[in-house]
Amino acid sequence: MQDLPHHYRATARAAADSHVALSASDMPEIIAAAPAEFGGPGDQWSPEHLLVGTVANCFILTFRAIARNSRLDWTHLECSPVGMLERVDQTTRFTQFTVNATLTVPAGTDTDKAQRLLHKAEAGCLITQSLLADTSLVTDIIEEP
Amino acid sequence: MQDLPHQYNVTANAEFDGNVPLKVDDVPQLVTAPPAEFGGPGDQWSPETLLVGAVLDSFIFMFRGISRASSLEWLNLDCSATGAMERVKRANCFTSFTIRATLIIPVDTDTGKAQRLLEKAQAACPITHSLRADTRLETEIIVES
């Protein structure tokens, strides 16, 4: 890991009526639009979905690093967070994230250890640490036959 | 706009190694990976850059809605955002965001009003309201010649 602080940058360009083209250095461009909930088309990435996506992505990458350090063998992880957007104190913001994680491990794996590492990943995720909302983790550990 | 609260869901699937695809219903899949700063390839969107992108997107869509409601005509909005990540109380998290917005407006447009609406968009943005970090806005308004 490079020394902190890190500075992450993205750029976006929009006309009065068009999708927004989001880019960052060498990364593929993302076409973004308002979500269907705000009258958008619902077929492009919205800011709200990007935020929920970062929670999923960060949880998985944090778990991957923790599992490697703790020598936990696993085969598949599905993470499906739900973010709740509400009006609180005259502002609209995300108030709650429920992170649903389904981990598949080889037969004979210490499932208690797997469970502890999933919770450690949730507690160590830098995106949820950066958010005001509460996060709850719902886990399901499947042992391969 | 649909009545609040809204719920947003994204699903990510991962193996022990490799990129992590993010999926939402009919939206094109988004491939993610750790950033170069954490030893990743640097050519895919990471949780860190996606969060900065979500801040930027949300600001643009908010400005578009507010400018439409206030009958402000504009031509282009080019923005960049930087998020600073630091170690605070033994956890890595984002501590500040800076949005730089360059708005191009037709001649005879009220630049004071344009400035106010840019600031209003930043103040109303649901993504920045969801973050612990402060967000600073730097603006440039160019009148088309």
Interface test with B, best of A51, A72, A138 (most B CBs within 10 A): A51
> Which of B5, B54, B75 is facing A15, going by the closest CB pair?
B75
Write out the DSSP string of A78-108: EEEEEEEEEEETTEEEEEEEEEEEEEEE-TT
Distance CA A47, CA A7 (A): 20
| CATH 3.30.300.20 for the B46-143 domain, yes or no | yes
- State the architecture of A47-143 in CATH terms: 2-Layer Sandwich (3.30)
Distance CA A95, CA A85 (A): 6
pLDDT tens digit sequence for A94-134: 999 999 999 999 999 999 999 999 999 999 999 999 999 99
pLDDT tens digit sequence for B129-140: 999 999 999 999
**Where are chain A's structural domains?**
47-143
Chain A partners within 8 Å of B73 (Cβ): 16
Q: Are A81 and A98 in contact (CB under 8 A)?
A: yes
- What is the interface pTM, i.e. ipTM, of the complex? 0.94
H-assigned helices in B18-103: 47-69
- Within an 8 Å CB–CB cutoff, is residue B60 touching chain A? yes
Mean pLDDT, rounded, for A62-85: 97
pTM of the full predicted structure? 0.95
Among residues 31-70 of chain A, which lie with CB inside 8 Å of chain B? Answer: 31-32, 34-40, 42-58, 60-61, 64
Q: Does B49 have pLDDT greater than 90? A: yes
CA distance readout (Å), A1 to A5, A6, B2, B21 = 11, 10, 42, 23
> Which of B11, B78, B92 is facing A4, going by the closest CB pair?
B92
- Within an 8 Å CB–CB cutoff, is residue B136 touching chain A? no
Q: Are B137 and B122 in contact (CB under 8 A)?
A: yes
Among residues 30-59 of chain B, which lie with CB inside 8 Å of chain A? Answer: 30-32, 34-39, 42-58
The answer to whether the Cβ–Cβ distance between B126 and A56 falls below 8 Å is no
What does the mean pLDDT of chain A come to? 95
Phi first, then psi, for residue A139 (nearest 5°) are -115, 150
